[in-house]
Amino acid sequence: MRAWPSLGDAVPTLRGQGEAPGRAPGDGELEGMEGGQDEDRKVPSTAGRRGASRRRAGGVPRDGGPEGCLATAAGGSLRRRAGACEDRGVGPRAVLSHEEVWRRYDAVEDRVTAGVSERMLDLAGVGAGTRALDLATGRGEPAIRAAKRAGADGGVVGVEPSEALVRMAGEKAAREGVSNLEIAVGEAESVDWSRWGVFDAATARWGLMYMRDPVAALKNAKSAIVPGGALVAALWAEPERVDYFTVPRRSLGRYRGLPEIDPEAPGTFRFADMERIRRDFERAGWALDHVEEVETPVFEATTSEMVVEWARALGLTRLLNELSEEAQRAWERDFAAEMEGRREEGVIRIGGVTRIVRARGA
């Protein structure tokens, strides 16, 4: 039995290291579950912002109040809240902030992506007594599951730059009775793992691609892992196989130009190419010993309105806000209609193909 060097308190410690500005990456890209800017804007659409100041001046609630509506299509027609919105798109509406969407849909995302996390932990060999580190922990996947597997004789340390996400992960861990997880607010490139001693394994679910310098993050993780220890990462495959990103963006392309995807810049598809994965892992001193592809949903809903709300807040906010209100509503209708076409047994799912790769110290 090996004692975990610094854990063991009754609740997870969310220890800041004073080294990160608390910013999540990405600006305008659809980054799935929790990428996107670390901003908290209640009504981010252009028309919504105008509406919000009007409403404040007039004393009407900021969240849309009696005038507000959800400008998304359900079954082809706009669903009105309090009946005050025009189909052609006037009037304010409530658009959820990132944090609101994270909180609203966290349980769904956890459930539909659980298989990916569990498979990663199997491949990393995480079990009772394991000491694992987790890069880009976000709201706690797969760190919380890893901590549960590790139990009282092991533990997990995560690193995540967004304070809002670290807070959410800590709340979730506490709710689930996990006390052997610590999350540093910081960047994987520079976090000082030696504070916690050495680790048996490392995980990074949908995180490396958004990092400023993933090679530095991989090198830093390698310095903290025992010889022969594994690092398991989930990385999105090519855009044409990743619908959650590509489908809403393709609809948006009818209304505006879209930024090119730069495979060398932080973003969803930075590691969509196997050669790039091999190259960057090798540069950091890791050798791949296993690669598999998994098709996974990342979101599931009973209404297309919910899918629109999710996609809009978690990646397309800026690109949509630059459009007129009418164009935004047209995109929402198009995308919602496309999502309706995917409904199966009452449920709409969207996801993509992810690679799960395992590497060991070269």
Ligand X SMILES: C[S@@+](CC[C@H](N)C(=O)[O-])C[C@H]1O[C@@H](n2cnc3c(N)ncnc32)[C@H](O)[C@@H]1O
Report the interface residues with ligand X, using CB under 6 A: 24-25, 31-35, 135-139, 141, 159-162, 165, 187-189, 205-207, 210-212
Q: How far is the CB of 269 from ligand X (least distance, A)?
A: 13
Q: How far is the CB of 216 from ligand X (least distance, A)?
A: 9
Q: How far is the CB of 14 from ligand X (least distance, A)?
A: 14
d(CA 163, CA 185): 6
**Smaller CB separation from ligand X, 33 or 359:** 33
3 state DSSP class of 305? helix
Indicate the pairing of strand 77-78 with strand 13-16.
Answer: unpaired
Q: How far is the CB of 203 from ligand X (least distance, A)?
A: 8
**Smaller CB separation from ligand X, 43 or 181:** 181
Helix, strand, coil distribution of the chain in percent, nearest 5 = 40, 20, 40
Q: Taking the CA atoms of the chain, what radius of gyration do you get in angstroms?
A: 21
**Smaller CB separation from ligand X, 199 or 255:** 199
Q: How far is the CB of 110 from ligand X (least distance, A)?
A: 8
CB distance 63 to 276 below 8 Å: no
Q: Tokens at residue 189, please? A: 């490139």
**Smaller CB separation from ligand X, 208 or 320:** 208
Closest CA to 17 of 155, 174, 158, 169: 158
Q: How far is the CB of 76 from ligand X (least distance, A)?
A: 32
Chain position carrying tokens 């609740």: 11
Which H or E run includes 321? helix 317-321
**Smaller CB separation from ligand X, 164 or 330:** 164
Which residues sit opposite 236 in a β-bridge?
Answer: 354
Q: How far is the CB of 142 from ligand X (least distance, A)?
A: 7
d(CA 84, CA 334): 22
Q: Tokens at residue 65, please? A: 């109040």
**Smaller CB separation from ligand X, 4 or 102:** 102
Q: How many of the other CB atoms lie within 10 Å of CB of 15?
A: 14
What is the rounded end-to-end Cα distance, in angstroms, of the chain? 28
Q: How far is the CB of 159 from ligand X (least distance, A)?
A: 5
CB distance 202 to 230 below 8 Å: yes
Q: How far is CA 175 from the centre of its chain?
A: 20
Q: Counting every residue, how long is the chain?
A: 362
Residue nearest to ligand X (CB): 138
Closest CA to 10 of 174, 129, 213: 174
